[in-house]
Amino acid sequence: MTDTQNIVVEEVLPHAPGVIWTALTTGELMGRWLMPASGFEAVKGNRFTFTTRPAGAWDGTIQCEILEIEPQSRLVYSWTSGHPDNVGYGATLDTVVSWTLEPAGAGTRVKMIHAGFVVPRNELALQNMGEGWRKIVPRLGEVVVGGAA
């Protein structure tokens, strides 16, 4: 039997929505808080890739396409990676990442949902990426505000 699970991270960050939006939609900045992005443009239908550590038959490339974009408030993209011959790290993954931004006082409520992990096949990815997203999301505005932009 299989089950589909999601990673959900929600944080209120002390940065304006525009600051968070810039970090989410600037390819060069994405490389600082997530991983290198190639061909990223914040345009619906745009296809781009992330590159991470390869494993087994998988070359480490994550294929993405922007599915939805509402400036300053919502960004959704597909996240497809892995190889059918891999088990554990690098197993086939066909998921969707959505970001929702809402003003919250002087800051921004950020909700990230990485949806579609098929368990048990993606159990390792669900665990590792869940831990990663919980560390990354709270630091999202720092790449812009901390003088790194």
CA–CA separation, 89 vs 103, rounded Å? 36
| pLDDT at residue 41 tops 60 | yes
CATH of segment(s) 3-145: 3.30.530.20
Average of per-residue pLDDT across 74-101 = 95
Q: How confident is the model at residue 143 (pLDDT cuts 50, 70, 90)?
A: confident
Which pTM does this prediction carry? 0.93
Q: For the sheet with 107-119, list strands across it.
A: 3-13, 107-119, 93-104, 74-81, 61-70, 47-51, 37-38
**Domain locations in the chain as residue ranges:** 3-145
Do residues 75 and 24 touch, judged by C-beta distance below 8 A?
Answer: yes
- Backbone phi, then psi, for 30, in 5-degree steps? -60, -35
Q: How confident is the model at residue 145 (pLDDT cuts 50, 70, 90)?
A: confident
